[in-house]
Amino acid sequence: MGPNVYKMRSAEKESRGAMATTEMKPADASDPEGGQSPPTRSRSSSTLERLRQNLAFRSVWSELNGAMGDLGTYIPIVLSLALSRHLDLGTTLTFTGIYNAITGLIYGVPMPVQPMKSIAAAALSDPSFAIPEIMAAGILTSGFVFFLGVTRLMKLVYWIVPLPVVRGIQLAQGLNFAMAAVKYIRYEQDLGKAKSMGRRPWLGLDGLVLAIAAICFILLVNGAGDDQARQGGTGSQEEEDHPEDGRRGEKIRKFLGLIPSAVIVLVLGVAFAVARHPAAVRELRLGPSRMRVVRISREAWKQGFVKGAVPQIPLSVLNSVVAVCKLTRDLFPEKKAATATSVSMTMGAMNLVGCWFGAMPCCHGAGGLAGQYKFGGRSGGCVAALGALKLVLGLALGASLLRVLVQFPTGLLGVLLLFAGIELAIAARDMSTKAEAFVMLLCAAVSLVGSSAALGFLCAMIAHGLLMLRAWIMGVRLR
């Protein structure tokens, strides 16, 4: 009889548990009286909260300052193509502003939007490579990258490429930016022909003194980076021994963090541009540019593929997707949205729309991300603010803005580009073994001398494979 009593008590407990479960069960979504289920509302509110956090400023001035960190690359290329190939500046500003806002909302990091450099180089070096060829090259490149993203093949590429090869690509691109920046600073530029001219004079509204003063100002405000912040803000032993000095140093750091150095340089450049050519202000016209669908002939598709897409595709895959994802993981380890698949799809989708209307083909770039991070960008709100500025200028002034921007001191653009390039190259400092450093430097050297990221990538992959084979044969670890 004892066992039967235990069974009855057990059955009674199970019955009570089932009743409690039934009473606490939320209304089903299909129940007409229950309405939408709490889990569905919870997921939607969670998504909205995540998007809101992606656009939230960590610090207003720091984020606005970071937004200017990518303009050292963006402005010279767009201005050069607008002057030499009649690229519509208003249309490009409008579409790239939309791109900036969308990428900031999706990724929650200062994901840049930059012109495709190989396509721009082809257009500036070949007079026959006009707007139809530029747009054809952008559509073909973006279509290929989008295909890799949709099929998830880009994820395989991201997994296969070893870190030393990625660091070599970043080092080469960073040094390439830095060397171009030095040319902008030392020599006067003909942006319409993409050529350096005579030495820049020391004095004047675009003189060497102005550029050197801007470099010193940014160094004093921003320093070489924020390694202390990346290490969790741990103080040094001297600060622990002398707390008053530590507090004074912390106050100075907070004060310097409130100074928007890049914004000040940009505003100063605009003021000097107006001072150099005051009549340009009267030449501004209100209203957006008239958008037209670009007609692309069969010959334009052919030339766009051979001269533009073929050299651009390796650079887009390696620097605009693989290197960007690696750098995002280094700088923002808590952010998971910037995957090789998603970055490929956003890059491809934005050009498959904008290029048909004459907007410059764009991509994400590790250099732009490094530059915006250098100047304080930490959230998607950074690039969203930049996108809003581009959108307002594109819709309000259109192509007439070119009359002012063409007078912008190129020496100051060189200063912004210099710091962006150095910040990107600094990412290569984490190579800890001699074998890793060898592969990285080989990739960078071949990429710079051969002017081809694809060639540097190929040589570095072969070298890395041979080193791994040698280590396996010898039964040792790769060092």
pLDDT tens profile 378-387: 999 999 999 9
pLDDT tens profile 311-326: 899 989 999 999 999 9
Location of structure tokens 């395989």: 156
- CA dist 27 and 78 (Å) reads 56
pLDDT tens profile 10-67: 444 444 444 444 443 443 444 434 444 456 566 667 888 888 899 999 888 899 999 9
Q: Which one-letter DSSP state was computed for residue 32?
A: T
Whether 421 contacts 146, CB under 8 Å? no
Q: What separation in angstroms does the CA of 183 have from each of 5, 221, 461?
A: 93, 24, 31
- CA dist 405 and 396 (Å) reads 15
pLDDT tens profile 458-470: 999 999 999 999 9
Contacts of 269 (CB under 8 A, 6+ apart): 408, 409, 412, 413
Contacts of 330 (CB under 8 A, 6+ apart): 427, 430
Whether 362 contacts 96, CB under 8 Å? yes
Q: At what angle do helices 380-396 and 89-107 cross, to 10 degrees?
A: 160
Q: pLDDT-derived band of residue 2, with 50, 70 and 90 as boundaries?
A: very low
Amino acid at 198: G
Contacts of 463 (CB under 8 A, 6+ apart): 438, 439, 442
Ordered by start, the domain boundaries in the chain are 54-226+247-430, 431-479
Contacts of 345 (CB under 8 A, 6+ apart): 146, 149, 150
Contacts of 41 (CB under 8 A, 6+ apart): none
- Maximum Cα–Cα distance across the chain: 108
Element (H, E) at 21: helix 2-24
Does 151 score more than 90 pLDDT?
yes
For 124-131, what is the mean pLDDT? 90
Phi first, then psi, for residue 116 (nearest 5°) are -70, 115
pLDDT for 323? 93
Contacts of 429 (CB under 8 A, 6+ apart): none
- CA dist 445 and 32 (Å) reads 68
- CA dist 429 and 414 (Å) reads 24
Tokens of 11: 């059955």
Tokens of 334: 């808590």
